[in-house]
């Protein structure tokens, strides 16, 4: 079955980016000229996704506004002859069919995904974490969808993380299949002891899940950090049907982390056709003083 639906969990509290995220959702933090979540929606659309459910909560209303029409602004832009910007602004509201649901309590990523059950129905669906921006020529989500179409199993986007950071991520048991594809048979969220580390491969920001995940989530108890962890539910899939891991191409930026936000800003600005050259010249000047 074709994957046309995506879920973007964006209801986290963003405590690692405080105080910026006290009233501003981290998913709305700007990278050069667009909020992070717009890069993520565009990646989904470029991967063939037509319907997107964004999981929000209190205080995240500006995410809805961003993907809505803005008649007063549009009129003003047209009246002042700013056709290009007008088209960009209107285009945001036409990217996909975008729906919103609130996660009423912030009980973890697994709990957030479980809020998507009625939107998803009985279809496979993509999950794009709202604070993970991935930039690359081949959209990461599309790479995962291709692996789903090939192997017919749930898929996780994976990358190796440094050994001293694995306790903050998930750790996967993987066997190599072909090229950048792996078979994953076990996983653990935030391993605290060395003997719990299965490998340095971790799930980073993207999954394609099958609808059987919802029944599993219904029975998933709070895990690491007292939250209902998506990893704990996916572990059941990994141990039974197996999950395909895709060591995806593309650069991932963690918008839930202050250094990640700075890296995204610098690298995406350097690649920007309008700003790149002047920003590069500026950085070179600054670099001389470092």
To ligand UTP, the closest distance from the beta carbon of 248 in angstroms equals 17
Q: Which is nearer to ligand UTP, 108 or 245 (CB)?
A: 108
Q: How far is the CB of 32 from ligand UTP (least distance, A)?
A: 20
Closer residue to ligand UTP, CB minimum distance, 56 or 86: 56
SS3 104: coil
| CA end-to-end span of the chain | 54
The residue behind tokens 């996916």 is 234
Please state the closest distance from residue 182 (CB atom) to ligand UTP, in A. Answer: 22
Nearer to ligand UTP, 112 or 142 (CB): 112
Q: Which residue is nearest to ligand UTP (CB)?
A: 12
Q: How far is the CB of 50 from ligand UTP (least distance, A)?
A: 21
Instruction: Measure the CA–CA gap between 168 and 153, rounded to whole angstroms.
Output: 26
Looking at residue 137, what DSSP letter applies? S
Looking at 155-275, list the stretches that DSSP marks H as alpha helix, in order from N- to C-terminal side: 213-218, 230-240, 258-270
Smaller CB separation from ligand UTP, 110 or 181: 110
What is the binding site for ligand UTP (CB under 6 A)? 9-16, 55, 103, 106-109, 111-112, 129-131, 256
- State which residue, 106 or 199, has the beta carbon closest to ligand UTP: 106
Q: Which of residues 14 and 223 has its CB atom nearest to ligand UTP in the complex? A: 14
- HSE, CB side, 13 Å, CA atoms: give it for residue 231: 23
Residue 8 CB contacts under 8 Å (≥ 6 apart), including other chains: 27, 37, 40, 41, 44, 52, 53, 54, 55, 127, 128, 129, 130
* Least distance (Å) between residue 281 CB and ligand UTP: 34
Phi-psi map region of 81: left, alpha, beta (phi>0 left; psi -120 to 50 alpha): left
User: Could you please report the per-residue DSSP string of 162-187?
Assistant: -GGGGGGSEEEEEEEEETTEEEEEEE
Relative to beta strand 5-9, strand 51-56 is: parallel
* Cβ nearer to ligand UTP, comparing 62 with 89: 62
CB of 16 to ligand UTP, least distance (A): 4
Query: What is the sign, positive or negative, of the torsion defined by CA atoms of 11, 5, 127, 227?
Result: positive
Min separation Cβ 129 and ligand UTP, Å: 4
């Amino acid at each position: 079955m074709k994957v046309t639906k995506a879920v973007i969990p964006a209801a986290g509290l963003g405590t690692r980016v405080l105080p910026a995220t006290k009233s501003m959702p981290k998913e709305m933090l700007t990278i050069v000229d667009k909020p992070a979540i717009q890069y993520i929606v565009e990646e989904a659309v470029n991967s063939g996704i037509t319907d997107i459910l964004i999981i929000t909560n209190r205080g995240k209303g500006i995410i809805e506004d961003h993907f809505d029409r803005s008649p007063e602004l549009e009129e003003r832009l047209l009246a002042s002859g700013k056709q290009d910007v007008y088209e960009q602004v209107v285009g945001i509201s036409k990217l996909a069919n975008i729906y919103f649901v609130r996660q009423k309590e912030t009980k973890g990523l697994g709990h957030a995904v479980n809020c998507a059950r009625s939107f998803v129905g009985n279809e496979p669906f993509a999950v794009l974490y709202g604070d993970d921006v991935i930039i690359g020529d081949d959209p990461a989500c599309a790479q995962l969808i291709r692996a789903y179409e090939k192997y017919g199993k749930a898929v996780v986007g994976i990358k190796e993380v440094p050994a001293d950071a694995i306790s903050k991520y998930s750790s996967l048991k993987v066997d190599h299949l072909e090229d950048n594809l792996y078979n994953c048979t076990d996983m653990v969220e935030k391993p605290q002891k060395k003997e719990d580390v299965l490998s340095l491969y971790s799930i980073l920001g993207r999954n394609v899940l099958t609808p059987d995940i919802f029944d599993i989530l219904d029975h998933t108890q709070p895990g690491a950090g007292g939250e209902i962890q998506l990893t704990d539910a996916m572990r059941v899939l990994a141990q039974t049907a197996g999950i395909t891991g895709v060591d995806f191409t593309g650069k991932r930026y963690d918008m839930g982390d202050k250094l990640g936000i700075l890296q995204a800003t610098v690298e995406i600005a350097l690649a920007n056709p309008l700003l790149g050259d002047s920003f590069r010249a500026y950085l070179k000047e600054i670099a001389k003083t470092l």
